[in-house]
Copies of this chain bind each other. A is one copy, B any other.
Amino acid sequence: MMLNPADTAFVDHLRGLLPEGSLHAPEPRYLEEPRGRWQGLAGAVALPRTVDEVAVIVRACAEARVGLVPWGGGTGLVGGQLMSEGPAPLVLSLERMAAVRGVYPDENVLVVEAGMILADVQRHASAAGRVFPLALASEGTCRIGGNLSTNAGGLNVLRYGNARDLCLGIEAVLPDGSVFNGLKRLRKDNTGYDLRHLLIGAEGTLGVITAASLRLFPQPQVVGTALLAVESPAAALKLLALAQERLSGMVSAFELIGRMGLEFLAEKIPEVKSPIGMAEWLVLIEIGLPAGFGSAEDHLSGLFEAGLAAGLVSDGVIAASEGQRAGLWRIREAIPEANRMIGAVSSHDISVPLGMVAEFIAKGGPRLAALGDFRVNCFGHLGDGNLHYNVFPAFGRSRKDYEHLRDAVKTCVHDLVAELDGSMSAEHGLGRLKVDDLERYGDPGKIAAMRAIKAALDPLGIMNPGAVLRA
């Protein structure tokens, strides 16, 4: 079924249905993505202020069979937020829907509109004496509607879950322009199919999330951070199990850093250094406790000593001040910056079962070495089995020298992930970049069911055409 472009006639028609100033010519920022890989198309950008205006826009698109691309902060890394081929769509930006709908500190609930920037959600939670734990590198730019549409992960998943786990309810406009009023503040609600969980992670292909009811948590009163050197990924995983036994539910981050990450820092951001030198593998662990449960330093040094006794840990440092904590985190956070400076041949956001992480790392290097001379920077959210497995040119060479190997590298990594029953998109989603990967690696029963659901809810195929499933 062919879609029509959002041409002048359509935009003029839509203009008559919306308040003045709701439609704009597409500024470049709506048509670019962070890595500059694709150039988007758009007939116009709609900037609604209310859910009713969103419904008007979606209905108009449905009537005219015009594709619609929902747009939050534009930070997605898999091209879900822009169409670069086909009839020019309408871009639907949620930027102007960024209000607080309600704050309920005693319920640990915050209800906000989809266009609120994630850092603002965090600030509103903090002002209510609570924490909204979703935390990612792009938090100053990305918007909560996009976080939910892509089921964002980030740094605190180990303790608090993914974006979907932090959401009690949503309001959304479905592809026929009807509104799903599901903005519940309930912990338990078993009244039929869970549309919330279907729309979360659907990357805007089944509807537009316009507001969300979010879970808040008490602020940890005592926070501690340590950087520990371990011999191998297998030792890191045993340390994780030990940490969870000793500090059950209080471990908020458990990040892996490989020696290559430290070498990249030495090469590109030399002022950021590990205080325990060039270890083969480092683990950054953070814990958060209520008051009255002892000092974080004591609990972390207990873990360090238990790890030492079990032969898992060889060295370590425990932050003794806020400044030291920030310094330890800076190491982890600077690695993606160094990566960008060096320029990857291919980056992979993968997950495997925790018990397969060591095997994945052990097998990945040799398989890539058979293809060419690479440097692999493997780091990430070990506690979630989620690794950013990024493949770089050999020292002194450039990514341009490897253009011809890019697809082979990606296939090599994703094939290994599939062998180990993992996921080739752990937290970034499929967007348009990984549509082929879903077809290659996805379960056929699941893909058939996804197509049936897409056809049932969006028979015209107007919602984010070409994302997740081929248009």
Contacts and interface: CB of A to CB of B under 8 A. Distances in A.
A197 B445 CA distance: 15
A449 interface: yes
Interface string A97-122: 00000001111110000000000000
Interface stretch (A16-24, A136-144, A349-357, A389-397): A349-357
Contacts of A444: 178
A198 to B, nearest CB: 6
Given A218-B248, A355-B107, A187 B421 contact: no
A241 B130 CA distance: 11
Contacts of A241: 105-106
Interface string A330-362: 000000000000000000000111110000000
A150 interface: yes
A389 to B, nearest CB: 14
Nearest to A293: B293
Nearest to A247: B290
Interface residues of A, number: 100
Contact of A195 (B178, B422, B446): B446
A188 B449 contact: no
Interface string A163-202: 0110000000010001111101111111111110110111
A238 to B, nearest CB: 7
Contacts of A238: 106
Interface stretch (A365-373, A398-406, A452-460): A452-460
Contact of A456 (B186, B289, B423, B452): B452
Contacts of A188: 153, 157, 162, 351, 381, 384-386, 423, 426-427
B192 A290 contact: no
Contacts of A248: 217-218, 220, 289-290
Contacts of A109: 353-354
A468 interface: yes
Contacts of A290: 245-248
A430 to B, nearest CB: 6
Interface in A234-269: 237-238, 241, 244-250
Contacts of A198: 193-194, 197-198, 453
Interface string A277-293: 00000000000011111
A448 interface: yes
A416 interface: no
B423 A108 contact: no
Contacts of A408: none
Contacts of A186: 351-353, 385, 422-423, 426
Contacts of A178: 444-445, 448
A107 B468 contact: no
A270 interface: no
A226 interface: no
A442 interface: yes
Interface in A426-442: 426-430, 434, 437-438, 441-442
Contacts of A447: 192
Given A218-B245, A290-B247, A290-B248, A191 B445 contact: no
A27 interface: no
Q: Which 3 A-B pairs have the closest CB atoms?
A: A197-B197, A456-B456, A189-B423
20 contacts: A106-B355, A164-B194, A178-B448, A179-B445, A180-B443, A180-B445, A185-B353, A186-B385, A186-B423, A186-B426, A187-B383, A190-B426, A190-B428, A192-B438, A192-B442, A193-B453, A198-B453, A218-B248, A449-B457, A452-B456
Given A151-B194, A181-B446, A188-B351, 20 more contacts: A104-B355, A105-B241, A108-B244, A109-B353, A150-B190, A185-B354, A187-B351, A188-B384, A190-B427, A190-B428, A190-B430, A191-B442, A192-B430, A192-B469, A194-B198, A194-B201, A217-B248, A248-B289, A292-B294, A293-B293
